Chains A and B, each alone.
Chain A
């Protein structure tokens, strides 16, 4: 038994090291001088930190505009997912069978199953036809469409935990469905809404395929900017690591906030509860 415990600790510790090392390495590269980055053996701690890379990243043409685009698109699409998703999830959670449930679930699973490129080819063509190429609104709508099923599954698991008796007593008082939903259900499910919101934000924040196809200069998002570093002939790892860090740090912070719901959120939609 003792051997097994030691082995488990060893395994978890080394896996944790491997999980964190790339993150550590990105952040440390981002605060290294050029000389300290391009050297062997690699410098893990023995360097003097500098913010030069951030300085050159932040002074980049359009950096702040791109950062703002990412925030705006993330926020907009998350809002749509929460509004539409909570309505649909509530119906799913409260009514096991209704007409159109099967097809809708099938459609949701199809969104999860299909590679984005399959939908983005026609979406690209359609939006350039309607003049929506490189538009932030179009990006918000597409992100929301792609993430809505995930939001519904996750919200559903929260709504299902609300005891039905609460609704029944409200119904006796003559509350309409929608009133009850907004005045009673949503406040109770608030933590679930927050958790879902954060998860959908993460998905949107990380999204790359949609903006790389649908965004030009006007609606460019952070992942596209981060990716554009590698197309330069001279690879400059410092600013590149700074850009990656700027993308990653908000995630790590949010993860700490949603620690409690992390497991439910990450496995949502994979398994029916």
Chain B
């Protein structure tokens, strides 16, 4: 890959001495690289979604038109896993955004020790999701887990956390929130820092209470950031894989399988590569509006 460096070097001689800053060609290596690793696979993915490749079969693949799409759209699993994705997304956002805001507000008070608190609170989002998943799986263990032990201290009966749909979804949302709240917190904190302190002073001089200030001043000013966070989080929930894979593998049955995990299972467990590719295209289409809204929303943030 390093050889590609010769590109910009060679062309930069031509522009020598000009007063413009003609550095657009510095993006050429990136273009080539993303073309090979992202764009070609993506287009090839669309192509194979019209074939009938099965990884277990040795028959040559043939073109079957929209059959994969029709099959996928008719399959109840597609819709049930989509529904599960929506449930996780909805409740995940419901937990993560308010808690992220509250923590950001607490950090924004600039109390003594804020820096240490911030470093500690950020830690979860940096940790290997697979290792985090394992840790939580141990903590949620029915007989030996600390979670049930603590509940036992409160005289609550043992819960088989990963054994039923509702509690497993609950556990998944807890683990994802543990890793994602810091992200929400950081972005909100950045938005709060950008608000001019004079606005707060003016509001206080006018006799506004803390809750009034939050509702009428802070909240409207951080709304663009909240929109961006929401878009990013929706995309991340579509991507959710590592912790889900470790915690439940989408089980029991398919009870916690999201659309993304279902695509993986279709391709690499049932070996229906073409059908999985069709699912992949559908997932891409679903994320399309979010993608555009994100681009739009992120321009609204300073």
Q: Which A residues have a C-beta under 8 Å from some C-beta of B?
A: 4-5, 8-9, 11-13, 15-16, 18-20, 22-23, 25-26, 29, 37-42, 80, 83-85, 87-88, 90-92, 94-95, 98-101, 104, 106-119, 121-126, 141-142, 144-146, 148-149, 152, 167, 171, 174, 176-179, 181, 202, 205-206, 208-209, 212-213, 222-223, 226-227, 229-230, 237, 240-241, 243-245, 247-248, 251-252, 255, 259, 262-263, 266-267, 270-273
- Please pick, from A5, A178, A229, A251, the residue contacting B109 in the complex, using a CB distance under 8 A: A5
- Please pick, from B9, B118, B210, B239, the residue contacting A4 in the complex, using a CB distance under 8 A: B210
Count B interface residues, CB 8 Å: 110
B299 at the A/B interface (Cβ < 8 Å)? yes
Give, as a whole number of angstroms, the nearest-CB distance from A66 to chain B: 13
Nearest chain B residue, comparing its CB with the CB of A213: B268
B255 at the A/B interface (Cβ < 8 Å)? no
Instruction: Known contacts A174-B17, A270-B232; decide if A23 and B127 are in contact (CB<8 Å).
Output: yes
Q: Is the CB of A263 within 8 A of B190?
A: yes
Binds A, one of B89-97, B163-171, B283-291: B283-291
- Please pick, from B45, B126, B268, the residue contacting A118 in the complex, using a CB distance under 8 A: B45
- Seed contacts A144-B37, A177-B22; 18 additional CB < 8 Å A-B pairs: A4-B109, A19-B124, A25-B139, A37-B144, A38-B144, A39-B144, A109-B295, A112-B235, A114-B283, A118-B280, A119-B41, A121-B48, A176-B13, A176-B16, A222-B128, A226-B131, A263-B186, A271-B225
How far, in whole Å, are A209 and B26 apart by their CA atoms in the complex?
31
Q: Is the CB of A111 within 8 A of B225?
A: no
Binds A, one of B28-36, B63-71, B195-203: B28-36
Nearest chain B residue, comparing its CB with the CB of A41: B149
How far, in whole Å, are A80 and B245 apart by their CA atoms in the complex?
29
B283 proximity list for chain A (CB < 8 A): 114-115, 117-118
Q: Is the CB of A23 within 8 A of B123?
A: yes
Give, as a whole number of angstroms, the nearest-CB distance from B182 to chain A: 8
B15 at the A/B interface (Cβ < 8 Å)? yes
A117 proximity list for chain B (CB < 8 A): 241, 260, 263-264, 267, 280, 283
B130 at the A/B interface (Cβ < 8 Å)? yes
A243 proximity list for chain B (CB < 8 A): 131, 134
- Please pick, from B13, B30, B299, the residue contacting A148 in the complex, using a CB distance under 8 A: B30
Give, as a whole number of angstroms, the nearest-CB distance from B140 to chain A: 11
What sequence of 0s and 1s flags, for each residue 175-219 of chain B, a beta carbon within 8 Å of any chain A beta carbon? 000100011001101100000000000000000001000000000
Give, as a whole number of angstroms, the nearest-CB distance from B143 to chain A: 8
A90 proximity list for chain B (CB < 8 A): 23, 26
How far, in whole Å, are A11 and B280 apart by their CA atoms in the complex?
41
A116 proximity list for chain B (CB < 8 A): 239, 241
A124 proximity list for chain B (CB < 8 A): 267-268, 273
Nearest chain A residue, comparing its CB with the CB of B29: A84
How far, in whole Å, are A121 and B225 apart by their CA atoms in the complex?
33
Q: Is the CB of A177 within 8 A of B21?
A: yes
Ordered by A's residue number, 13 sampled pairs between the chains whose C-beta atoms are within 8 Å are: A29-B138, A37-B144, A80-B1, A87-B29, A117-B283, A121-B45, A125-B53, A177-B15, A177-B16, A244-B130, A251-B127, A263-B189, A263-B190
Give, as a whole number of angstroms, the nearest-CB distance from A156 to chain B: 12
Nearest chain A residue, comparing its CB with the CB of B266: A121
Q: Is the CB of B111 within 8 A of A122?
A: no
Instruction: Known contacts A108-B34, A174-B16, A178-B8; decide if A206 and B42 are in contact (CB<8 Å).
Output: no
Q: Is the CB of A83 within 8 A of B149?
A: no
How far, in whole Å, are A121 and B124 apart by their CA atoms in the complex?
29
Q: Is the CB of A98 within 8 A of B260?
A: no
